[in-house]
Amino acid sequence: MDSRSGAPTRRQLLSAIAKVGGTAALYQAMTTLGHAAETQFHGPPNLQGARSGAKVIVLGAGLAGMLAAFELRKAGYEVQVLEFQNRAGGRNWSLRGGDTYTELGGATQKVGFAQGNYLNPGPWRIPHHHRTLLHYCKQFGVALEPFIQFNHSGWVHSSQAFGGKPVRFNAAAADFEGNIAELLAKSVNAKALDDTVTQEDRDRLLEALKGWGMLDKDYKYSASLRASSHRGFERPGGGGVDGAPIPSKDLYSLHDVLDPQVWTSMAFFMGSEMQTTMFQPVGGMDMIGKAFAKQVDGLITYNAKVSKIAQDDKGVVVSWTDTVTGKAADAKADYCVCTIPLGILGQMDLAVTDEMMAAIKAVPYSGQVKIGLEMKRRFWEEDDFIYGGHSFTDQEIGLISYPNNNMFGNGPAVLLGAFARDLGAFRLAGMTPEQRIEVALQQGSVLHPGSYRKEFASGASVAWSRVPWTLGCCARWNEETRKEHYQTLVAMDRRIVLAGEHASYVGCWMEGALLSSIDAITRLHKRALEA
């Protein structure tokens, strides 16, 4: 940006608006000036001028904690981070060949994946509008690559439709839309909508239904080259003698395409968090955690199990134990940014108000299960022409998701063999790691019958309800708890402020953790300067 030129740049203008009117004015101005209002991120917090000698203790070296440490140190604070694990990153995590993971209950898995292959047990995809995360990825030098979110060629499997056989997403979606378009056109032509739609709009609606639903001139959805252009051909167009395409003949019935597995698989991609473009770090999700850790090098004390957080007029005292040596210690600071997951925090001895304690204890956690399966070859690419993206199933595994990197490679590759939730996740989590792999193979074989077991090499699973350092995957708020507890939870409790995905409305996403952290440390800094 050239700051010497006469007219203010957009950035200068926005910066001036922010200074005069605060972030609310900036937000409004950005919306007016054409920025999509998809995030509350307006740039890094740019905190400055901490009082000399002021110290902040940060609990947890996940993304929220490390961002707090990075920005607060930059602002001039002395910062110490305590982390329960022997690694940084928190739920930003990848499992690779040679790693071992011991879950609660004691089951230990030694990951047998080939070099370069990995499972991301936690976050695995980044929406394009999660700008805080994208900003810091760029600033900290994390290389990102596309995450293939939407693949029209993935399978959709319902145990209660299509004879229990998997069908291609594009065929199921095309037939759903075609059938709905035909029915609606029939209603229009039967004058069923004459009372509610003007003649002009009825004509326009019919045109839209014909175009969108691939209907023929009689407003019928039928086997045709037109329908096949959406759902797939029996024989696609080619060259030479047999070049003419042959349309697919057996359209799926209305009854089959009304199975909820079809429309929920379609609707899945409508949510703003699930819209393309999405990204993943090159080499595994933990590249982000590692890049953050590099920025706060030397500030983190690992293997530190916190048991008590006390505070008074003078400061904060955190009692912790070194889980390797067993040695107990107290860490003192002026302020505390606490990112410990609520289920664990609620079991500690905390000097906070009763209202804050009630808020901490009011939010349950979800318990997703992910299973990575290493296959000897990329049969989904070689046999089924599926390159990245997902296949959906109504079995407990929930989906199969295909690797987005090294396409067309010859070596072994790891696919996501389960992303189970709710009751499916409880059932898988209750099993031994070996049993989980067996179920994943059995259920995955329904979608890839010929190759799934044959090509299987090794697997690894993470059941989040048994992860020792979180006791769950993500905070699960509901309207009632939001109303009763959210503002208390995010408010500063004298010298302590909470941060993490649980202290945001972008729960379960790294973006929420970062936005929460920026908000928490901005308020902490203001409070510290006012004190």
The reply to whether 123 sits near other proteins by the rule CB under 8 A is: yes
Gap between the Cα atoms of 459 and 326, Å rounded: 34
CB 394 within 8 A of CB 160: yes
The least CB distance from residue 261 to other proteins, in Å, is 5
Using the rule CB under 8 A, which residue among 509, 513, 515, 518 binds other proteins?
A: 509
58 makes contact with other proteins (CB under 8 A): no
Pick out residues in 149-188 that bind other proteins (CB under 8 A). Answer: 156, 158-160
Sequence-ordered list of residues with C-beta below 8 angstroms from that of 44, at least 6 positions apart, any chain: 71, 135, 136, 139, 518
Task: Fill in the amino acid letter for 84.
Answer: F
Cβ(337)–Cβ(58) under 8 Å?
yes
| List 203, 349, 383, 422, residue binding other proteins (CB under 8 A) | 422
- Residues 68 to 87 in contact with other proteins, rule: CB under 8 A: 84
Q: Which stretch binds other proteins (CB under 8 A): 218-226, 228-236, 503-511, 517-525?
A: 503-511
User: Does residue 429 bind other proteins (CB under 8 A)?
Assistant: yes
Question: What is the nearest approach in angstroms of other proteins to the Cβ of residue 368?
Answer: 8
Question: Does residue 399 belong to the site contacting other proteins (CB under 8 A)?
Answer: yes
The answer to the question of residue 89 lying near other proteins (CB under 8 A) is no
- CA distance to 51, 65, 69, per residue, from 526 (Å): 11, 18, 16
Ranges within 430-469 binding other proteins (CB under 8 A): 430, 463, 465-469
Cβ proximity to other proteins: between 332 and 483 the closer is 483
The token duo for 298 is 């030397």
Our finding on whether 260 is near other proteins (CB under 8 A) is yes
**Which residue of 283, 346, 457, 519 would you call a contact of other proteins, by CB under 8 A?**
346
Query: How many residues bind other proteins, per CB under 8 A?
Result: 77
Asked if 427 touches other proteins (CB under 8 A), the answer is yes
In this complex, which beta carbon is closest to other proteins, that of residue 49 or of residue 105? 105
Long-range contacts at 486-494 (CB < 8 A, ≥ 24 apart):
486/359, 488/353, 488/355, 488/356, 488/358, 488/359, 489/356, 489/359, 489/360, 489/363, 490/516, 490/519, 490/520, 491/356, 492/523, 492/524, 492/527, 493/311, 493/352, 493/353, 493/356, 494/311
Nearer to other proteins, 395 or 451 (CB): 395
SS3 36: coil
Task: CB nearer to other proteins: give 9 or 264.
Answer: 264
Residue 371 CA to chain centroid, in angstroms?
Answer: 16
Closest distance of CB 15 from other proteins, Å: 30
What does DSSP assign to residue 111? Answer: -
Q: How far is CA 394 from the centre of its chain?
A: 20
